[in-house]
Amino acid sequence: MELSSFAVPNIALPPTELPAYKFKQNNSLVPELATKEADVGKPMAERLKDLRASFLDPQTPKQKELKGAAQQFEAVFLQQLLEAMDSTVDREEGFLSGGEAEKTFRGMLNQETATNISKQGGQGFGLAESVYQQSVLLYDVK
């Protein structure tokens, strides 16, 4: 049996591309396609350079909000990474063990360390900047 002759009745496949007006009705964050046409002619290296500059020094309230959200996302990721690394350390229960207080302190230390790394502004882990750049490219934040 050929694949082209095989048909399933009463099943409609979703369209692969929807017109821009459909996006506009359902999600106000997705801009019209016409607004992105101006940036298409720009080389990607220039666009990424502009995005890095806007990450390091956000000008609009939307950019500042997006940068803060990206840094919070990076901090949560780093905190989970630090906690996973800390769980591999063998700490013996003994005379100098801190017990529950030490566990609480280590959790807070991991959280603060992750937050400080994410706020390094282009010199930290780098995940926040990548999330910011992809969000700006996807949602055309200005």
Q: How many CB atoms lie within 10 A of CB 51?
A: 19
Q: Where are the domains of the chain?
A: 43-86+102-142
CA angle 40, 16, 140 (to 5 degrees): 30
Q: pLDDT digits over 70-128, tens only?
A: 999 999 999 999 999 998 887 777 666 777 888 889 999 999 999 998 888 667 788 88
pTM of the model: 0.63
d(CA 112, CA 91): 22
What letters, b where the CB count within 10 A reaches 16 and e where it falls short, cover 59-91? eeeebeebbeebbeebbebbbeebeeeeeeeee
